[in-house]
């Protein structure tokens, strides 16, 4: 019988609490309230200079080997840093994907030359990465992807289209999953590649939200050449590598904190809370705390040497649905029609969150896919 999701209650330890205090002090000095526009989770602005400052403090690539610029610190320590950054609405857009999953994927499957080439830049905040997984017609059903990799002398030629590629318009590299051979099992015959975003034949087309901003992109690969030394891992093992990468993506605090700053700003601008508002605040706080405990438990599981694939899927499913529940509850409570031009920061954040919220339950795997992952573990 398969083991289902397993969460063990845990608290932060003294040294971990000291790190939390250190990060909070840094943010208060670096980004004092009112000096910047807080972002919605990891969809926040990209600020390379800010990312470099985090790298200089050892807060990027925290779990990566010291030999490549990392800190060899725990998953819980990284959880603490990312939680504080997201709750503050810090501009994490430049380094987010690289730090969350690309660095760990390269560390796990990359060649020695790839580790030396990419990991120091990720740890310092220099390099930004995007994720080349989803395609038109192959989002939830990733096994149906059609982007091809054709072997040629000295490397590979890539053709196809990736979609919903967050930050592709500003990143340096993209880890791209392609079909490198035709097999009877659709999950076989895939390979991951490290693709330079400045490659000839690669075009990035922004996919704008209703407010005109664009964080998602379509990436078109037209006979893009990738040399052999940029094949990531083993040829034909892309599916299993990609599955391992998704575990890094799904279980963190970014899956329930995207709308946190909206509620915080509502409180800052509300002089008196009536009984209905207090009940809502209590309910939201309890949900956030519960999700935080699940995510923290997953980080502890990683530090114990286990891979919480199912637990991460459950955190993501619960968390991203909750992010949308937050907005629905606020809209029901607050008698206002938010506008991007409002003088109220709360209204501007609420407006942005409403327009971008549909993406929350899609990115990183749809609700249906995540429930399937959890259900299979329970059977």
Q: Dihedrals φ, ψ of 150, to 5°?
A: -110, 125
Parallel, antiparallel or unpaired: strands 155-162 and 148-152:
antiparallel
Q: According to DSSP H, which parts of the chain are helical?
A: 14-30, 48-56, 75-88, 96-97, 103-109, 112-124, 238-250, 260-269, 275-303, 309-333, 345-356, 367-378
Residue 99: other Cβ atoms inside 10 A: 31
- Weakest-pLDDT range from 114-128, 310-324, 338-352: 310-324
Write down the pLDDT at residue 132.
96
Parallel, antiparallel or unpaired: strands 129-132 and 155-162:
unpaired
Rounded-to-integer distance, Cα 93 and Cα 96, Å? 5
The mean pLDDT value of the chain amounts to 92
Write down the pLDDT at residue 366.
73
- Mean pLDDT to the nearest integer, 246-269: 89
More confident residue, 366 or 313: 313
CB 179 within 8 A of CB 200: no
Please measure the distance between the N-terminal and C-terminal CA atoms of the chain and give it in whole angstroms. Answer: 8
How many residues in total does the chain contain? 379
Write down the pLDDT at residue 92.
97
Q: Judge whether residue 270 has pLDDT over 70.
A: yes
Residue 6: other Cβ atoms inside 10 A: 13
Is residue 113 classed exposed, middle or buried when 0-12, 13-18 and 19+ CB atoms within 10 A define those classes? exposed
Kindly list the distances between the CA atom of residue 268 and the CA atoms of 21, 44, 264, 333, 364, in Å, as whole numbers in the listed order: 22, 20, 6, 16, 31
Rounded-to-integer distance, Cα 293 and Cα 290, Å? 5
Spatial neighbors of 274 by CB under 8 A, at least 6 apart, are none
Q: What is the pLDDT of residues 184-231, one digit of tens each?
A: 888 899 999 999 999 999 999 999 887 778 889 999 999 999 999 999
**212: alpha, beta or left? (left if phi > 0; alpha if psi -120 to 50):** left
- Weakest-pLDDT range from 1-10, 16-25, 137-146, 251-260: 1-10
pLDDT band, very low/low/confident/very high, at 327 (cuts 50, 70, 90): very high
CB 353 within 8 A of CB 259: yes
Q: Judge whether residue 247 has pLDDT over 90.
A: no
Q: Judge whether residue 4 has pLDDT over 60.
A: no
What residues pair up with 176 in beta bridges, in sequence order? 132, 193
How many Cα atoms are found within 13 Å in the side-chain-facing hemisphere of 379? 6
Q: With the CA atoms of 59, 127, 303 and 310 taken in that order, what torsion angle do they form, in degrees rounded to the nearest 10? A: 130
Q: What is the pLDDT of residues 11-57, one digit of tens each?
A: 999 999 999 999 999 999 999 998 999 999 988 999 999 999 999 99
Write down the pLDDT at residue 244.
81
Q: Judge whether residue 167 has pLDDT over 70.
A: yes
- Weakest-pLDDT range from 112-126, 156-170, 240-254, 336-350: 240-254
- Mean pLDDT to the nearest integer, 330-359: 91
Write down the pLDDT at residue 168.
96
Kindly list the distances between the CA atom of residue 217 and the CA atoms of 161, 206, 213, in Å, as whole numbers in the listed order: 10, 4, 11
Rg (alpha carbons) of the chain, rounded to whole number: 21
Write down the pLDDT at residue 265.
96
Rounded-to-integer distance, Cα 291 and Cα 252, Å? 10
CB 160 within 8 A of CB 149: no
Write down the pLDDT at residue 314.
87
More confident residue, 123 or 310: 123
Helix (H, G, I), strand (E, B) or coil at 46: strand
- Weakest-pLDDT range from 39-53, 146-160, 247-261, 338-352: 247-261
Write down the pLDDT at residue 1.
42
Domains belonging to the chain, first-starting first, are 14-128 (1.10.540.10), 131-237 (2.40.110.10), 242-378 (1.20.140.10)
Rounded-to-integer distance, Cα 142 and Cα 78, Å? 29
Rounded-to-integer distance, Cα 75 and Cα 90, Å? 20
Write down the pLDDT at residue 3.
56
């Amino acid at each position: 019988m398969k083991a289902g999701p397993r969460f063990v209650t845990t608290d932060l330890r003294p040294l971990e609490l000291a790190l939390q205090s250190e990060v909070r002090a840094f943010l208060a000095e670096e980004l004092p309230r009112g000096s910047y526009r807080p972002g919605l989770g990891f969809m926040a602005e990209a600020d390379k200079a800010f990312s470099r400052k985090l790298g200089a403090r050892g807060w990027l690539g925290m779990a990566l080997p010291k030999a490549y610029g990392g800190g060899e610190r725990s998953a819980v320590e990284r959880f603490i840093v990312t939680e504080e950054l997201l709750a503050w609405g810090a501009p994490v857009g430049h380094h987010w994907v690289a730090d969350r999953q690309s660095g760990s994927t390269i560390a796990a499957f990359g060649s020695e030359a790839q580790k030396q080439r990419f990991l120091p830049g990720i740890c310092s905040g220099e390099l930004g990465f995007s994720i080349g997984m989803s395609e038109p017609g192959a989002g939830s059903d990733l096994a149906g992807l059609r982007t091809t990799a054709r072997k040629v002398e000295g490397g590979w030629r890539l053709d196809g289209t990736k979609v919903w590629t967050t930050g592709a318009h500003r990143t340096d590299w993209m880890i791209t999953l392609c079909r490198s051979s035709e097999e009877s099992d659709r999950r076989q015959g895939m390979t991951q590649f490290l693709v330079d975003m400045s490659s000839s034949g690669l075009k990035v087309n922004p996919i704008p939200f209703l407010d005109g901003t664009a964080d998602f992109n379509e990436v078109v690969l037209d006979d893009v050449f990738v040399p052999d030394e940029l094949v990531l891992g083993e040829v034909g093992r892309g599916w299993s590598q990609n599955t391992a990468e998704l575990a890094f993506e799904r279980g963190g605090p970014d899956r329930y904190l995207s709308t946190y700053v909206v509620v915080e700003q509502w409180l800052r601008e509300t002089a008196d809370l009536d009984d209905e508002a207090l009940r809502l605040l209590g309910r939201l706080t309890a949900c956030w705390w519960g999700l935080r405990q699940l995510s923290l438990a997953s980080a502890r599981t990683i530090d114990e040497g286990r891979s919480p694939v199912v637990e991460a899927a459950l955190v993501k499913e619960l968390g991203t649905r909750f992010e949308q529940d937050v907005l629905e509850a606020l809209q029901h409570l607050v008698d206002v029609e938010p506008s991007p031009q409002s003088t109220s920061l709360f209204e501007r954040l609420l407006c942005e969150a409403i327009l971008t919220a549909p993406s929350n339950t899609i990115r990183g795997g749809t609700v249906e896919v995540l429930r399937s992952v959890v259900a299979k573990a329970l059977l």
